[in-house]
Amino acid sequence: MQRLQNFKPLFLSLLAAVALSACEGVSETSSASDASQVVTPTEGSTSSGGQCASGDLCLALKIVAYSDGTSPVIDSRTAEDIVSRINGVWSQCGIGFRLEDFQAVEPKNVGLAEIPQNMSELPQIRGTLQSSNQLLVVMTDGWGSAGNINDSGADAWTTLPGYPPYGAVIDEPVARNANIIAHELGHYLDLLHIQNRSNLLSPVVGASSRGLSSGQCSTARATAQGVFAPMLRS
């Protein structure tokens, strides 16, 4: 179910880290970040709280942040800020996300490894934390020795429609990167990678990777209204 296909190395000379992105194309896709778009909440700002704009298709979101008991990977305020930024990207498709549930979870308390080590743990993470009527995004602690899943260079893994349990699993180094999470939500809504750096579904996501075509919007909206209809809110 989770065979890797089509490894495509992308060498980005200006970046400190060489980004390697793998896309499975069947059940699960992964993404790498150039880490140039780390989002930090603005001090003292009044976040709109991760709400959908009126008129947009509105999908309920559950964000789970791994925690050691005192400091989660992100806090609820940061989660709201990230969702608002994600909505700024997805508004071009008339799609929004509502942060309906935020949980800081100690993984050991729910039978999960504190530091995920292996791809095989992804379905377990999703299956343990999933909700029947909310999209799931999990921010884990850094994976493995190289800080990414299976030393693949990928920072985030999301299952495509048709391959439950569903969920985007985001590695700690990119947990504040709104473009990366918006990209993963694109996979969630059945979008595959496009070799265009200005597109949100570029395999390597940068600060300018925010575009979506009308065809991508149509696919995403149809998926929201189909497979994920239970997640829709009015």
Torsion of CA 103, 106, 112, 115, to 10 degrees: 110
Q: Which stretch binds Zn ion (CB under 5 A): 27-35, 99-107, 136-144, 171-179?
A: 27-35
CB 190 within 8 A of CB 161: yes
CB 13 within 8 A of CB 160: no
CB of 90 to Zn ion, least distance (A): 15
Cβ closer to Zn ion: 29 or 51? 29
216 interacts with Zn ion by CB under 5 A: no
CB of 191 to Zn ion, least distance (A): 9
Residues in region 119-138 near Zn ion by CB under 5 A: none
The pair of structure tokens assigned to 124 is 């377990």
Distance CA 187, CA 196 (A): 16
29 interacts with Zn ion by CB under 5 A: yes
CB atoms within 10 A of CB 31: 32
Cβ closer to Zn ion: 79 or 180? 180
Cβ closer to Zn ion: 31 or 152? 31
Cβ closer to Zn ion: 53 or 217? 217
CB 158 within 8 A of CB 29: yes
152 interacts with Zn ion by CB under 5 A: no
Among 31, 134, 159, 209, which residue interacts with Zn ion (rule: CB under 5 A)? 31
Cβ closer to Zn ion: 84 or 159? 159
Q: Which stretch binds Zn ion (CB under 5 A): 10-18, 30-38, 61-69, 75-83?
A: 30-38
177 interacts with Zn ion by CB under 5 A: no
Cβ closer to Zn ion: 31 or 87? 31
The pair of structure tokens assigned to 44 is 């003292």
Q: Is 150 left (phi over 0), alpha (psi -120 to 50) or beta?
A: left
C-alpha pair distances (Å), 86 with each of 39, 51, 168, 192, 200: 11, 10, 14, 18, 11
Residues in region 194-213 near Zn ion by CB under 5 A: none
- 86 forms bridges with which residues in the sheet? none
Which residues touch 13 (CB under 8 Å, ≥6 apart)? none
Distance CA 210, CA 195 (A): 13
Cβ closer to Zn ion: 31 or 67? 31
Q: Which stretch binds Zn ion (CB under 5 A): 31-39, 68-76, 84-92, 121-129?
A: 31-39
Give the count of residues interacting with Zn ion (CB under 5 A).
2
CB of 101 to Zn ion, least distance (A): 24
Residues of this chain that interact with Zn ion (CB under 5 A) are 29, 31
